[in-house]
Amino acid sequence: MAEQFDVVVIGGGPGGYVAAIRAAQLGMKTACIDMFTGKDGKQALGGTCLNVGCIPSKALLDSSKHYHHLQHDYGDHGINAGDVSFDVSKMLGRKDGIVKQLTGGVAGLFKANKVTAFHGKGKLLANREVEVTVSGSEDVTKLEAKFVILASGSEPIAIPGVEFDGEYIVDNVGALEFSETPKRLGVIGAGVIGLELGSVWSRLGSDVILLEALPDFLPVVDEDVARAAARDFKKQGLDIRLGTKVKKAEVRKGVVHVTVESGDEESVLEFDRLLVAVGRRAYTEGLLSDDCGVKLTERGQVEVDSQSRTSDENVWAVGDCVRGPMLAHKASEEGIAVAEIIAGMPAHIHFDTVPWVIYTDPEIAWVGKNEKELREEGIEFNTGSFPFAATGRGLALGNASGMVKLLADAETDELLGAHIVGASASELIAECVVAMEFHGSAEDLARIVHAHPTLSEAIHEAALNLDKRAIHRVNK
Ligand code: FAD
Ligand code: NAD
């Protein structure tokens, strides 16, 4: 007989594992099925984020940033390190150690919360029966659930004429594993992954060219912020070619030949490695039986309502496999909300206050609307900004490029958007998220005491500047 659970979660990434832990905390008998296998051949919970996404990319971004600063910036502090070198295999080993610690941590949390983990591929059948094909065997187990949460995540999009081969033409997984610095690295797509992983290998010595189809750089980001970031990336040597369409890529004698079209001109570029980072799409292969009652959208995502409920009222779906931004924290918050709804609690997530961060140097972070969106929506707004170069802390750090820009409703002064480019933008944005979640105004931020000297003073001063009363800049 099939084992019975209150909740079965399919997928153990930040959407699924967080949902499973919260459901168990709320007293429900919970199972989580995940098929990811770690380098040691055992189950590695945590999904894309912990294994081949957020965490390993940040580990390499930090290692490569130390190397870059040591080479280029510490001299200004009077620190001479002599000849600096690095060891890629040690960097990769450090990254793998962090991943193992965190994926093992999730397994420990499952044990502590009495979540039963299954290592295998889950498929939802009719009446919330779930079939598990156990990893590394032909065995099939059946589970029965009162409620099912689908959290199967996403996969990289491939483009026609450019075939992944896992060695020369790679996705994020391959680009986190280069055993030596590629001399010439091509990146298709100057989006989040392209910029983050392009930065890693550029700092470690690759000549990096990013091939971006769109004519604008980072169109999802506020224009002033995107412009400031583009300037810094150029200085760092990232060669970002906008309006460039890739027609095909071929590997010949260990060299990737990429045919591109820019304007009316066609040319061939040669690289040692090519990273394709043109977006991700929901992964639902083999997830649903035809009679399970759950529908997909035209884009192949699991169809859900605003509470993440699918077309079967006892089945929910969260994270990258549904609509909304493909971000780990969005997936986790949806997972918590769904577990609480199942337990009969009121729960929701505010999509308007989900922060975005790009972990380049400078970091780029934002929440809410940008100027272009507000103009398109016909909303009247006021703008305030402040450069980190006018903060004592930025100068003391030796990293004072960038700025804070705030947008507030012209009539009510409610904060509608916050955009930061600069050091620690990833941490600074949290204050603006809190302010927006509480429907705070720019005046609220202007009246809060910010510690001196900190980078957060730029948020304070941007809020003051919005009312033309910043102290440490000329108000315009
Ligand atoms: P996933 O993390 O993809 O987890 C889904 C899991 O389900 C996987 O383990 C998969 O193997 C498993 N699975 C799928 N189908 C089945 C099945 N049928 N049976 C069993 N198991 C199944 N987001 C951020 O917020 N911050 C970042 O810094 C960041 N960096 C990123 C860097 C990279 C290189 C990449 C690729 C992504 C990054 N993301 C980042 C995005 C983030 O990883 C995703 O938004 C997040 O992982 C989504 O969580 P999820 O639980 O929906 O899916
Ligand atoms: P992306 O959407 O951020 O960027 C893809 C880029 O590729 C876009 O600029 C797009 O215009 C371009 N593009 C698309 N087709 C192209 C083509 N044929 N030729 C050239 N350029 C093309 O996607 P991504 O970088 O692959 O990342 C996927 C998702 O993963 C992100 O959207 C984000 O949700 C998530 N992610 C988040 C973080 C983070 O939060 N720091 C980091 C990495 C990934």
Q: Whose CA is nearest to atom 43 of ligand 1?
A: 49
Q: In the chain, what are the domain boundaries?
A: 3-156+281-349, 169-278, 353-466
Distance (angstroms) between ligand 1 centre and the Cα of 152 equals: 8
- Predicted pLDDT of residue 325: 97
Distance (angstroms) between ligand 2 centre and the Cα of 372 equals: 20
Spatial separation of the C-alpha atoms in residues 125 and 249, rounded to whole Å: 40
In terms of DSSP bridges, do strands 244-252 and 255-262 run parallel, antiparallel, or are they unpaired?
antiparallel
DSSP 220: T
User: Catalytic annotation on 257?
Assistant: no
Distance (angstroms) between ligand 1 centre and the Cα of 223 equals: 29
Give the mean pLDDT per block of 10 residues along the chain (476 residues). Answer: 95 98 98 97 97 98 96 92 93 98 98 98 98 94 98 97 97 98 98 98 98 96 97 96 97 97 95 98 98 97 97 98 98 98 93 97 98 97 98 95 98 98 98 98 98 98 98 94
CATH number for the segment(s) 169-278 = 3.50.50.60
Distance (angstroms) between ligand 1 centre and the Cα of 321 equals: 9
392 in ligand 2 pocket by Cβ < 6 Å? no
Candidates 2.40.40.20, 3.40.50.2020, 3.40.1710.10, 3.50.50.60; correct CATH number of 3-156+281-349?
3.50.50.60
57 in ligand 1 pocket by Cβ < 6 Å? yes
13 in ligand 1 pocket by Cβ < 6 Å? yes
Distance (angstroms) between ligand 2 centre and the Cα of 193 equals: 6
Which one of the ligands is nearest to 331 CA?
Answer: 1
3-state secondary structure 234-300: HHCCCEEECCEEEEEEEEECCEEEEEEEECCEEEEEEECEEEECCCEEECCCCCECCCCCCCECCCC
Annotated catalytic residue within 350, 450, 452, 472: 452
Q: Coil, helix or strand for 378?
A: coil
- Testing ligand 2's pocket by substitution, the residue of 278, 329, 421 carrying the most ligand atoms inside 8 A of its CB is 278
Q: Coil, helix or strand for 110?
A: helix
Spatial separation of the C-alpha atoms in residues 194 and 211, rounded to whole Å: 9
User: 3-156+281-349 and 169-278: same fold?
Assistant: yes
Candidates 3.40.50.300, 3.30.70.100, 1.10.3430.10, 3.30.390.30; correct CATH number of 353-466?
3.30.390.30
283 in ligand 1 pocket by Cβ < 6 Å? yes
Q: Whose CA is nearest to atom 38 of ligand 2?
A: 192
Atom number, ligand 2, closest to the C-alpha of residue 356? 40
DSSP 318: -
193 in ligand 2 pocket by Cβ < 6 Å? yes
- Predicted pLDDT of residue 291: 97
Distance (angstroms) between ligand 1 centre and the Cα of 27 equals: 26
Which one of the ligands is nearest to 240 CA?
Answer: 2
Sequence-separated contacts (24+) of 215-222 with Cβ below 8 Å: 215/242, 215/243, 216/242, 217/190, 217/242, 218/190, 218/191, 218/364, 220/356, 221/358, 221/364, 221/366, 221/370, 221/419, 222/366, 222/370, 222/371, 222/372, 222/405, 222/417, 222/419
- Predicted pLDDT of residue 476: 82
- Testing ligand 2's pocket by substitution, the residue of 280, 361, 426 carrying the most ligand atoms inside 8 A of its CB is 280
Question: What amino acid occupies position 38?
Answer: G
